[in-house]
Amino acid sequence: MKKVLRITAYIFIFLLLVLLIGPFLIPIPPLTDTVPARTLASEPSQFLTLPFPGTDGLEIHYWDSGAGEPTFLLLHGFASNLYTWDEVFPYFAEHGRAVSYDRPAFGLSARPLAGDWQEQNPYSREAAVSQAITFMDELNIETAVLVGNSAGGALAMQIAAAHPERVDGLILASPAVYTGNGAPAFVQTLAQTPQLQRIGPLFARILATLEPPDFLTAVQKEQAAIALKVNNWDKALWEFTAASSQIDLLAQFSRLTMPTLVITGELDNIVPADESIRLADELPNAELVVIPDCGHIPQQECEAPFLQAVEDWLATRPGK
């Protein structure tokens, strides 16, 4: 019996050493062929330095077109960027002012790394809300209709719950509310350990190797992957992922009384259509559109029916 216990103890110690020391022995080759974000900017691109406490400011890449009311603020999802709105951006610009920006860690916006901030983590859920409001202030946007896809839809709801006076309405395309809404607390704790902080960027690189959706054209695939050309994209993506805690949006539904349009693709395999149907039913003032033969990114997969749904809603929403 003593021999068995001794062997078990040795195995336990060995496994513990593997977990504690192993990550520091894994080689992490440096990224190659990456460049500063500004060198990848296209003609519509603009940049501003967004004030953020504890930093020297965050450089934000954005588009701004059109004029008049309403202003539409377009928010992309996880591992995406403002190019996801490329096909529908002109429509919003024709019906008011259209503004979209890359959140930190995505697209061509800033990628602060650990040590670059002294106070609040710029990748936290709370920081994303304050950044959106500060961004609106910097561009003299008093109120806006928030248009969000996937995680961008969840962020739109967060902003609206925290600052309802700044939001005229919500257009939520496959919003990640019940599914994909951040990681559990224990995952966040593990993500902050030195071991995972070291090998986390490798996980980010694996994530980046996932095949893009088949419906994207060659140009759209290139636009979606533009972040992989930017310096330190892997480290920043891991920092963002490690900070993406869960948030209880359900408890804030009562504050979301503004007119809301929920759009879902019938074939969405990321955020099932049933969840968007449930969301539209539970929000105080929401309408629902289900697009047949469409998936998770309706503004790119099903541009025409997506815009038709938006146009019909804009024509009938209260207070327009």
Residue 24 belongs to a domain:
no
| SS3 state at 319 | coil
Residue 110 belongs to a domain:
yes
Task: Please say if the pLDDT value at position 88 is more than 80.
Answer: yes
Residue 85 belongs to a domain:
yes
The single residue listed with the structure tokens 């040795």 is: 10
Residue 21 belongs to a domain:
no
Residue 191 belongs to a domain:
yes
34, two tokens = 């990456």
Report the predicted TM-score, pTM, of the whole model to 2 decimal places.
Answer: 0.90
The whole-number pLDDT of residue 15 equals: 46
Task: Spell out the SS3 assignment of 43-105.
Answer: CCCEEEEECCCCCCCEEEEEEEEECCCCEEEEECCCCCCHHHHCCCHHHHHHCCEEEEECCCC
What span, in angstroms and rounded, lies between the C-alpha atoms of 117 and 240?
14
Q: Domain of 135: which CATH number?
A: 3.40.50.1820
Q: What is the average pLDDT value for the chain, to the nearest integer?
A: 89
> What does DSSP say about strands 97-101 and 167-173: parallel, antiparallel, or unpaired?
unpaired
**What does the DSSP 8-state code read for residue 140?**
T
Residue 271 belongs to a domain:
yes
Residue 275 belongs to a domain:
yes
Contact 176, 153 (CB under 8 A): yes
Q: Tally the domains of the chain.
A: 1
What span, in angstroms and rounded, lies between the C-alpha atoms of 120 and 116?
11
For residue 128, give its domain range.
Answer: 43-315
Q: Compute CA distances 36 → 64, 120, 149, 229, 232, whole Å.
A: 22, 25, 27, 8, 9
What span, in angstroms and rounded, lies between the C-alpha atoms of 208 and 258?
36
The whole-number pLDDT of residue 29 equals: 84
pLDDT in tens, 240-286: 988 887 778 888 999 999 999 999 999 999 999 999 999 999 999 99
Residue 19 belongs to a domain:
no
- To 10 degrees, the CA torsion angle through 148, 150, 154, 159? -20
What span, in angstroms and rounded, lies between the C-alpha atoms of 76 and 89?
12
